[in-house]
Amino acid sequence: MSDILEKILATKKAEVEAGRQARPLAQLEREARAAPPPRGFERALRARIAAGHSAVIAEFKRASPSRGVLGASLDPAEVARSYERHGASCLSVLTDSIYFSGSPADLIAARAACALPVLRKDFVVDPWQVHEARAMGADCILLIVGAVDPPALRELERLARSLGMDVLVECHDGDQLEVALGLETSLIGVNNRDLRTFAVRLETTLDLLPRIPAARLLVTESGIASPEHVRRLSEAGVRAYLVGSAFVETGDPGPALSRLFSGPKGGG
Ligand SMILES: O=P(O)(O)OC[C@@H](O)[C@@H](O)c1c[nH]c2ccccc12
């Protein structure tokens, strides 16, 4: 297969093998023990929603394979503080370097600059990366159903939770949603972007929403770019949003967050 997800996963597996040589598991475990304790990621989202607002996971993203360069020179600490001031509940930081121009250093800098819980946004395919996530201070990891088989997903989830992190499990269609619901985590991400074609459809979220039990929290991901998008999703009952491009491409991400979520159910 030659789609972009397959390509990213092949690169990622090679990267993990190299990482394992440079930083063996025992070393990562020591680093993880010395890392700052996890901040409750799900707790922050639920608290904001309980207060009657939408909860926004604001993403630090320099570039992407689908959109090219979005904000190469952005400073992660400044952006993190600005997102926090403008009402974000949590941060998401891309740590993949080859396809997204991100890095663990971006996550570390962003997290140190604010009090928000931080999602490590990467393609996690191996337990080594879960330890690595905690070692860099991550409070939550992303697991992508389309990237790993269900037994491996369960193993990665258990490990993340044993290290005190939350898990956002990402799906893109009904079959993947069934797999996601088979995990323990209540954070169900629905990616509106097809990682194989880059096509974005907000209907992905609207179609899957009725199939998500009330105890789970749907996080709509990708392609949310206008107050009209937020209004449509909010009217359908969506309360949690993961947004990157629409914020960073303005060059001033925090105020862009305020503008996107300024309605009655706004993030602030
Ligand atoms: O920049 P957008 O369209 O607002 O999307 C943010 C986020 O959903 C997107 O970055 C994303 C969702 N799932 C991913 C998996 C890997 C890398 C990136 C992603």
Structural domain boundaries of the chain?
A: 4-260
CATH code matching the domain that covers 4-260, chosen among 1.10.10.10, 3.40.50.20, 3.20.20.70, 3.40.50.10610: 3.20.20.70
CA distance 173 to 194: 9
Task: Output b/e per residue, 226-261; b: 16+ Cβ within 10 A.
Answer: eeebbebbbeeebbbbbbbbbbbebeebbebbeebb
How much is the pLDDT for 1? Answer: 44
**Closest ligand 1 atom to Cα of 100:** 17
In this structure, the residue with its CA closest to atom 5 of ligand 1 is 222
> Which residues are marked as active site?
59, 61, 121, 170, 191, 221-222
Check pocket membership of 122 for ligand 1, CB cut-off 6 A: no
Q: Is the ipTM of this complex over 0.95?
A: yes
How many whole angstroms from 182 Cα to the centroid of ligand 1? 23
How much is the pLDDT for 256? Answer: 98
- Cα angle vertex 150, ends 20, 198, to 5°? 80
| Residue pair 94/66 in contact by the 8 Å Cβ criterion | no
Given a cut of 50, the residues of the chain with pLDDT beneath it are 1, 267-268
Check pocket membership of 172 for ligand 1, CB cut-off 6 A: no
How much is the pLDDT for 268? Answer: 47
Check pocket membership of 243 for ligand 1, CB cut-off 6 A: yes
In this structure, the residue with its CA closest to atom 9 of ligand 1 is 222
How many whole angstroms from 244 Cα to the centroid of ligand 1? 7
How many whole angstroms from 255 Cα to the centroid of ligand 1? 20
How much is the pLDDT for 244? Answer: 98
Check pocket membership of 136 for ligand 1, CB cut-off 6 A: no
